[in-house]
């Protein structure tokens, strides 16, 4: 008799941190936790971010001054949380809420949960995505690598009358804003997303991020024909079958399923200049889908405190249109 294994997200192992725990710990404990994430090598003791000196002293509550260079700083100075206005408890709660969304968390929902402006939640979530993307930087894939592409954005509203409707498959009737997300996913490894105009434009990126000894699985799209020149490549014709003698792109399709549900069910609009950020978030969630939410929150928190101050999102709403 075949037994069905319980899904990981339904098990108690997936729940190791809750919002109840975050709000019960209090502001002081939350602050100490951020200190430990910022300076893990000194167990939370302040280290000057300018000269690296470990000798500092308190000048005001939760603000330090370096003995060597006299630089004044706080635990969030020089990180993506620099110039923060939210409390440390709210920042920690925001991270927990963010990682708990299997298909992402809308900024509008986060603004209601934290009782803050939508602008604050929008920028905060994008800063977290920027920190998460550091994990994928410079990665090299080996073994069996599945590659596929899917198109997002460029929606064209159809005409009301059937007689006036145009064939949107034709290039002349499209908006020109559609972008292709190409995912390179290593079996039992990590996922790397890229934004290109067409699938075939990603072949040079494959050369940079996939090892020459890797085996590539792709579909019959003509854009992948050039892969045969550099790798051991196998193709599956999806018009006939989804898997052909073990060759498939199911892991890549799983990624697109998550990203599409983020677009349709959570964020509703992820195209344009932000598509790369959402694509990276979906890849991170796929790679850590079997990690409990406590460790996920810790990973995002450590990445955020190790990231430099964001140049893309600092002062985002104050810029001229």
The pLDDT of 53-63, averaged and rounded, is 91
Q: What percent of the chain has pLDDT over 70?
A: 98
pLDDT at 3: 65
CATH tag for 139-288 (out of 1.10.238, 3.30.420, 1.10.1760, 1.10.3470)? 3.30.420
Residue 279 CA to residue 289 CA, distance in Å, equals: 15
Closest CA to 100 of 35, 21, 33: 21
Tokens of 62: 């939760």
| Segment 131-181, tens digit of pLDDT | 999 988 888 999 999 999 999 988 888 889 988 888 888 888 888 788 999
Domain positions in the chain are 9-135, 139-288
pTM given for the model: 0.92
Average pLDDT of every residue of the chain = 93
Position 317 scores a pLDDT of: 84
Q: How many secondary structure helices (H) and strands (E) does the chain include? A: 8, 8
What's residue 137's pLDDT? 85
Task: Write out the E strands in 88-244.
Answer: 144-152, 179-186, 191-196, 215-219, 232-236
Arithmetic mean of pLDDT, 277-302: 96
């Amino acid at each position: 008799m075949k037994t069905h294994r319980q899904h990981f997200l339904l098990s108690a192992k997936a729940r190791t941190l809750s919002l109840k725990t975050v709000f019960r710990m209090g502001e002081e404990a939350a602050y100490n936790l951020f200190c430990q994430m910022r300076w893990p090598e000194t167990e939370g003791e302040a280290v000057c971010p300018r000269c690296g000196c470990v000798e500092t002293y308190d000048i005001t509550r939760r603000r330090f001054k370096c003995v060597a260079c006299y630089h004044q700083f706080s635990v969030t100075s020089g990180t993506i949380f620099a110039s923060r206005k939210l409390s440390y408890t709210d920042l920690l709660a925001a991270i927990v809420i963010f990682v708990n969304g299997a298909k992402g968390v809308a900024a509008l929902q986060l603004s209601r949960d934290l009782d803050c402006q939508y602008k604050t939640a929008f920028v905060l979530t994008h800063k977290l995505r920027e920190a998460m993307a550091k994990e994928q930087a410079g990665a090299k894939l080996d073994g069996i690598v599945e590659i596929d592409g899917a198109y997002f954005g460029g929606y064209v509203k159809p005409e009301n009358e059937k007689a006036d409707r145009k064939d949107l498959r034709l290039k002349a009737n499209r908006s020109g804003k559609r972008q292709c997300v190409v995912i390179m996913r290593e079996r039992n490894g990590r996922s790397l997303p890229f934004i290109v105009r067409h699938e075939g434009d990603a072949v040079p990126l494959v050369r940079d991020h996939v090892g020459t000894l890797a085996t590539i699985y792709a579909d019959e799209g003509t854009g992948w024909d050039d892969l045969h020149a550099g790798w051991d490549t196998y193709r599956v014709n999806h018009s006939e079958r989804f898997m052909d003698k073990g060759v498939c792109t199911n892991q890549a399709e799983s990624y697109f399923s998550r990203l599409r549900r983020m677009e349709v069910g959570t964020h509703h609009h992820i195209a344009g200049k932000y598509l790369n950020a959402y694509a990276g978030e979906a890849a991170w969630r796929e790679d850590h889908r079997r990690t409990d939410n406590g460790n996920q929150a810790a990973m995002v928190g450590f990445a955020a405190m190790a990231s430099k101050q964001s140049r893309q999102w600092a002062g985002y709403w104050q810029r001229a249109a």
